[in-house]
Amino acid sequence: MSITLASPVTGSAQTGLTSPTFTVVADQTNNDSKRYVVTQLGGTQTGVTTHSATRPFAIDFWRPRNVSPVRIPDSNGVIRQFPRNVYGVTVRKGVDVGANQATQVEKYELRCERAAGAETYQPAEGRAALSLLIGALQAQSAGWGDTLVNNVL
């Protein structure tokens, strides 16, 4: 099943954001990624802006351009090196850093590096790792948001 982001996206609670929702629209990217831009906000999100050309608020899901296969074993039947196939998600958000300053674009990125061959030999292991990662991020969303503000883990 491919990635199709249903709109609106229900965000996780953050300090200062109550019941956040994000109305998204698919945008054009390339064959190796899908992009959605935020066109409307719901819930209480005071001070948050939607997507524009000079102030982006977008999420991209991306995959490797060329998937690396498993390498050929040596004469002893051992594969010495395993290439990594990198998948990821990136959120870009325009922010102001001060009065009369140019908008800056922040980037929040998650990368998943899979050993070539693992996707067919043990697919459940990667799914379990991703399940833990997403569950932990969801459970600690507000904590991470606070950490980005106060630098305290």
pLDDT digits (tens, 9 = 90+) for 2-29: 888 999 999 998 999 999 999 999 998 8
pLDDT band at 135 (very low <50, low <70, confident <90, very high): confident
Evaluate whether residue 61 is within a structural domain: yes
pTM value?
A: 0.86
Is the bond preceding residue 8 a cis peptide, omega within 30 degrees? yes
Domain CATH number, residue 96: 3.30.380.10
Q: If DSSP codes are grouped into helix, strand and coil, which group holds residue 94?
A: strand
Evaluate whether residue 32 is within a structural domain: yes
Evaluate whether residue 57 is within a structural domain: yes
Domain that holds residue 47: 9-68+81-118
Q: Are 134 and 128 in contact (CB under 8 A)?
A: no
- Report the amino acid identity of residue 72: I
The residues facing 31 across adjacent strands are: none
- As to burial, measured by CB atoms within 10 angstroms (0-12 exposed, 13-18 middle, 19+ buried), residue 36 is buried
Evaluate whether residue 150 is within a structural domain: no
Evaluate whether residue 143 is within a structural domain: no
Tokens describing residue 7: 């709109």
Evaluate whether residue 153 is within a structural domain: no
Pairing of strands 84-95, 18-27: unpaired
| Residue 66 main-chain phi, psi, to 5 deg | -130, 120
How many CB atoms within 10 Å of residue 64?
14
Domains of the chain: total: 1
What does the pLDDT look like over 31-51, one tens digit per residue? 899 999 999 999 999 999 999
